[in-house]
Amino acid sequence: MSYMGQDAGVRGSARRRPRLLDQVRQCMRVRHYSLRTEQAYVAWIRRFILANHKRHPREMGGAEVERFLTSLAVEGQVAAGTQNQALAALLFLYKEVLKQELPWMENVVRAKRPRRLPVVLTRDEVHRLLAQLEGRDWLMAGLLYGAGLRMMECLRLRVKDVDFARHAITVRQGKGNKDRLVPLPRTLSGAIEDQMAAARLLHRSDLAAGFGAVHLPHALARKYPNAAREWGWQYVFPATHRSPDPRSGVERRHHLHETVLQRAVKAARKRAGIDKPATCHTMRHSFATHLMEDGHDIRTVQELLGHKDVATTQIYTHVLNRPGLGVLSPLDRA
């Protein structure tokens, strides 16, 4: 019997508790986990249950978790980050949902974490790529490079967080649920104003049609009932069409889907004749590398990128034009 659809503790009873995966979702929403994290955790928990012949997790423990994680590394050959995500999902299930502590899993075979340098474009390549984009796509790609935004940070940007007077953008709830301040490129100010004007017309048409309420984080919608319809909370890059909210089912206008920007950047890279496997995130890597080439200290770059540990930022010191201590090749000396 599958325990993903039924709770073992109430079999044969007319009174049923929420299904296990629904309990997981409820616990994650109470703790304000993102929708992406929720979907990933639920998928791993479902996969864990199926791998153990649909046994309820209460009937299992550390041994089964160790075996599952080891199989991911040995048989599945997954990346270290993937294995860590699966572990985090199962730890959340046992600790927060089932209220059980798992023993320390010292026998898990760990996936190897290879040390790879990020793909970085030269300044010329960045300009060539941007030259192949127009309008909204050019603006979004420009923000990835000009402000060092992650792709989803750009797509989730709200009107109120763009400060034209200070030439700054406030990134809300970035990775690790942290806010940070990044520069608003003056080159893009006019284009953002034009984009906001188009978004405002769309918002007014939604209001006239009885819609216009955007998704608000956490419990702000209950605390400020009218805020969802205010212009400041709207997305700078709204979706073309309204769609049901994946959690509540309420029809509203979300931000653009990430595939819109991903496809635009991929197509622009090909048209520009750039052979490097550049993606949206490559623009952020290039932002950091070029800042350090210009002499900005690593702590400043760390703050702009929103890295928790400076060791994460140090990777960009290895892709500078003058790696290490400015070593000159002996062939050049000859």
* Tally of CB atoms within 10 A around 228: 16
Task: Quote the DSSP letter at residue 171.
Answer: E
- Report whether 283 contacts 126 (CB < 8 A): yes
Is residue 36 part of the annotated active site? The answer reads no
- State the distance between the two ends of the chain, measured CA to CA, in whole angstroms: 75
User: How far apart (Å, rounded) are the C-alpha atoms in residues 70 and 263?
Assistant: 35
Task: Give the DSSP letter of residue 238.
Answer: B
Q: Is 150 a catalytic residue?
A: yes
Catalytic residue among 158, 203, 284, 290: 284
Structure tokens given for 267: 């197509």
Give the closest residue to 48 by CA, choosing from 68, 78, 66, 22.
Answer: 68
Among candidate residues 128, 175, 200, 242, the one labeled active-site is: 175
Residue 316 annotated in active site: yes
Of 156, 158, 215, 307, the catalytic one is: 307
Beta bridge partners of 182: 169
Asked if 175 is an active-site residue, the reply is: yes
Most distant CA atoms of the chain, gap in Å: 86
Annotated catalytic residue within 150, 215, 253, 285: 150
Contact 20, 7 (CB under 8 A): yes
Closest CA to 116 of 170, 83, 79, 162: 79
What residues act catalytically? 150, 175, 281, 284, 307, 316
